[in-house]
Amino acid sequence: MDVIVGNNVNDLFVEGLWRLKVSGIKEDSRNGSVIVLPNPAMSVYNYPMERVLFDPDRDCNPFFHLMESLWMLAGRNDVAFLEHYNKRMKEFSDDGTAFNGAYGHRWREHFMNDQLVEAIGMLKHSKTTRRVVIGMWDPGYDLGNPSADIPCNTHIYFRTLGDRLDMTVCCRSNDLVWGAYGANAVHFSILHEVIARAAGLRQGLMYQLSNNLHIYEHHWHLLDCPVRTFEPYTIKKGLVLPLFEKQEDWPLFIEDCETMEIGIYPNYHTPFFQNVVKFAMMAYSAYKKDGYNAALSVTPKMPMCDWRIAMESWLIRRIPKGAHDVPEPK
């Protein structure tokens, strides 16, 4: 087994690419050629709250990553909300309306009980329980199903050490760029934080076991990018804002997730929604309607944090060369 350790997703992204470059082998897959590690890989996040990837060559969309994570916590499986932030998402739906394997829907609806509520309740009742498992794979539903959307991540384990809650995610097949160190790092670290805080515990280490860690041919150029050095988490402290402060506020945070709709900005209950999510939604809608200038006039309304830095950087990278009258982020 390959063990890839880092403080955060930025460290793991660099190390994971290096491992694939020096140890990966070429294979054919259902979706084209890949370079894959010959062994399962365990990714270890020392500080999973540092979940935002800043790499300009990867150029991931932080608006999409954040909104998809909150959409998951709401237990949703609709295409329309995610398609606003990523027009390609419709390609992964069988009917263009709903997703078959949406993680959040599996967490909260698919198995006829709310696994988040159950997991939090079990951990509050017994900190040392080893029976807290959240499932995403349904063998009676997924095995042999030709759907375009079958869960790649299959189940999640929790383990408490003192006041620290560690989390292990198991994944059958993991695209390093779009999955492991892209969306997954955000989705699962946010889930981890919510469950830890709601149970009165400290968010500990996050592990992701990838049975097949690979990179597709259209991303092979990333293997030859220069060494990456810009990583705001190492430059400035205090960039990570908690999703909610008080243990008893977790239902209000989930309620805020459940009320998200495009173009609607209600009086959210929690500061993270009031100060970050609301303005991120407004900025992206402004970007789609009027362009980067309009969006960059909204992002300064957020406090300085990792999401704001990533969103402003992503918008600035979309400015055509030679363009003028672009406001400097403050």
pLDDT in tens, the chain (330 residues): 999 999 999 999 999 999 999 999 999 998 899 999 999 999 999 999 999 999 999 999 999 999 999 999 999 999 999 999 999 999 999 999 999 999 999 999 999 999 999 999 999 999 999 999 999 999 999 999 999 999 999 999 999 999 999 999 999 999 999 999 999 999 999 999 999 999 999 999 999 999 999 999 999 999 998 767 678 998 888 999 999 999 999 999 999 999 999 999 999 999 999 999 999 999 999 999 999 999 999 999 999 999 999 999 999 999 987 665 555 444
Q: Are residues 251 and 104 in the same domain?
A: no
Please, how many CA atoms are within 13 Å of residue 301, restricted to the half-sphere of its CB? 17
Q: Could you tell me if residue 10 is left (phi over 0), alpha (psi between -120 and 50 degrees) or otherwise beta?
A: alpha
120 vs 306: CA distance, rounded Å = 27
Q: Are residues 228 and 90 in the same domain?
A: yes
Q: Are residues 274 and 149 in the same domain?
A: no
In a domain, 7, yes or no: yes
Residue 171 annotated to the active site: no
Q: Are residues 92 and 207 in the same domain?
A: yes
**What single DSSP character describes residue 244?**
-
Q: Are residues 173 and 231 in the same domain?
A: yes
The pLDDT of residue 66 is 98
Q: Are residues 214 and 273 in the same domain?
A: no
Name 1's Cβ contacts closer than 8 Å, sequence gap at least 6: 39, 40, 41, 42
CATH of the domain at 185: 3.30.572.10
Distances (CA, A) of 224 to 31, 117, 213: 22, 44, 18
Q: Are residues 179 and 60 in the same domain?
A: yes
Q: Are residues 113 and 260 in the same domain?
A: no
Q: How far is CA 158 from the centre of its chain?
A: 18
The pLDDT of residue 330 is 45
Domain boundary among 192, 215, 235: 235
Mean pLDDT rounded to a whole number for the chain: 95
76 vs 18: CA distance, rounded Å = 36
The pLDDT of residue 325 is 52
In a domain, 327, yes or no: no
Domain boundary among 235, 266, 299: 235
Q: Are residues 13 and 97 in the same domain?
A: yes
In a domain, 241, yes or no: no
In a domain, 324, yes or no: no
Distances (CA, A) of 159 to 46, 165, 169, 187: 15, 6, 12, 19
The pLDDT of residue 229 is 66
In a domain, 305, yes or no: yes
Among residues 60, 152, 171, 305, which one is catalytic? Answer: 152
Domain boundary among 235, 259, 280: 235
DSSP helix/strand/coil, 176: helix
Give the type of residue at 13: F
282 vs 264: CA distance, rounded Å = 9
50 vs 43: CA distance, rounded Å = 14
Name 141's Cβ contacts closer than 8 Å, sequence gap at least 6: 110
In a domain, 33, yes or no: yes
Q: Are residues 96 and 41 in the same domain?
A: yes
Reference 29, options 168, 131, 163, 174; nearest CA is 174
For the chain, first and last CA: distance in Å?
45
In a domain, 321, yes or no: no
Number of structural domains in the chain = 2
Structure tokens at 150: 């079958």
Q: Are residues 122 and 228 in the same domain?
A: yes
Strand partners, 34: 27, 216
DSSP sequence for 30-64: TTEEEEE-SS-EEEEESSTT------TTT---HHH
Q: Are residues 105 and 211 in the same domain?
A: yes
**What single DSSP character describes residue 270?**
S
In a domain, 326, yes or no: no
pTM value is 0.95
Structure tokens at 71: 């959409």
**Cβ proximity of 311 and 318 under 8 Å:** no
Domain span holding position 306: 247-316
Structure tokens at 7: 């403080």
